[in-house]
Amino acid sequence: MKRRTEWLWGFPAAAVALVALWGCGGGVNLASVGAIAYKGVTKGAAASRPINDSEEYYIGRAVAARILGQYQLVQDPQLTLYVNEVGQAVARKSSRPETFKGYHFAVLDVAEPNAFACPGGLILITKGLYQTCETEDELAAVLAHEVSHVANKDGVNSISQARWTGVLTAMSAEAARQYGGVAGNLVTLFEGSIDDVFKTIVVNGYSRSAEEAADADAAQTLSRAGYDPGAVAAVLNKMMAKEKGGAGGIFKTHPPTADRLAKLKAKGVEGATGKEVQERTKRFQKVKI
């Protein structure tokens, strides 16, 4: 498979920007939210329209900032660059190859296996999940699964429709009043939208159907990208073994791994071997932490 070497240099710097947007004290920066809210909003904005790509991106930034407020990034430039190369390779072959500001990938310094797909394409995997993988194809499977959550908009779809209607109504009023009397209401509603996504990603997890759809989509993405589609099942097998030994991390927020694996096998996803797989595995082992 021909591979482009598109390294994304900026995620650590982007992480600083995320925290700056959210604010050191854990609250929303009102000026930033006001600018986000005003952009593209007219007085007659429909109160039932879906979240657009730029709004999804800014919500994702705020969600990522919360996650980065709890966990540190692994400070390993080589690892970060490698994960981004693999992530970009699968993202380009996904059902949504482009987002408002593109896909960005990073590794959290957390021992428990887990991953977080923030709306708009900010994807964080833990060191524990990276170490669970034994090949580049398995890493690609993990990243393709998270990309599928972004592509399917599982994060933003978790926002209460009633809350988002309130955000749009407040946004329209803010624009009309030049950020006057309802500013506090807008901030509260915006924070609530971020809460919806954060709780879904970090606390409760996606639905069984969303996880199974992401597994199936990941296998298709891997095939289009030249990776082994059977790597999704390989990762699930490893996760199933870990699941028996503990209930932390990803196991709190995902449906039983055995059920996901059975669904995937029912779709007839087969593994693959060959020289390319072996070469990718050697590359992975050089970066493995």
- Looking at residue 244, its pLDDT comes to 67
Mean predicted confidence (pLDDT) in 253-268: 67
Element (H, E) at 238: helix 231-243
Least confident stretch, 22-36, 83-97, 229-243 = 22-36
CA–CA dist 79, 118 (Å, integer): 20
Instruction: Report which of 70, 160, 158 is spatially closest to residue 118, judged by C-alpha positions.
Output: 158
CA–CA dist 88, 85 (Å, integer): 5
Least confident stretch, 44-48, 51-55, 238-242 = 44-48
Mean predicted confidence (pLDDT) in 176-192: 56
CA–CA dist 177, 171 (Å, integer): 10
Q: Is the pLDDT of residue 7 over 60?
A: no
- Looking at residue 20, its pLDDT comes to 40
Q: Is the pLDDT of residue 251 over 80?
A: no
CA–CA dist 159, 184 (Å, integer): 19
CA–CA dist 220, 79 (Å, integer): 25
Least confident stretch, 64-78, 84-98, 266-280 = 266-280
Q: Is the pLDDT of residue 208 over 70?
A: yes
Torsional sign, CA 212, 276, 82, 70: positive
Mean predicted confidence (pLDDT) in 210-226: 94
- Looking at residue 187, its pLDDT comes to 60
SS3 call for 196:
helix
- Asked if 233 contacts 145 with a C-beta cutoff of 8 angstroms, the reply is no
pLDDT class of 277 with cuts at 50, 70, 90? confident
- Asked if 12 contacts 68 with a C-beta cutoff of 8 angstroms, the reply is no
What mean pLDDT, rounded, does the chain reach? 77
Look at strands 104-108 and 115-118 and give their pairing. Answer: unpaired
pLDDT class of 189 with cuts at 50, 70, 90? low
Residue 52: both structure tokens together: 């657009």
pLDDT class of 241 with cuts at 50, 70, 90? confident
- Looking at residue 31, its pLDDT comes to 43
Residue 132: both structure tokens together: 């669970």
Top-confidence residue, 123 or 194: 123
- Looking at residue 167, its pLDDT comes to 67
- Looking at residue 270, its pLDDT comes to 59
- Looking at residue 272, its pLDDT comes to 58
Q: Is the pLDDT of residue 104 over 50?
A: yes
Element (H, E) at 104: strand 104-108
Residue 158: DSSP 8-state:
G
| Number of Cβ atoms within 10 Å of the Cβ of 132 | 19
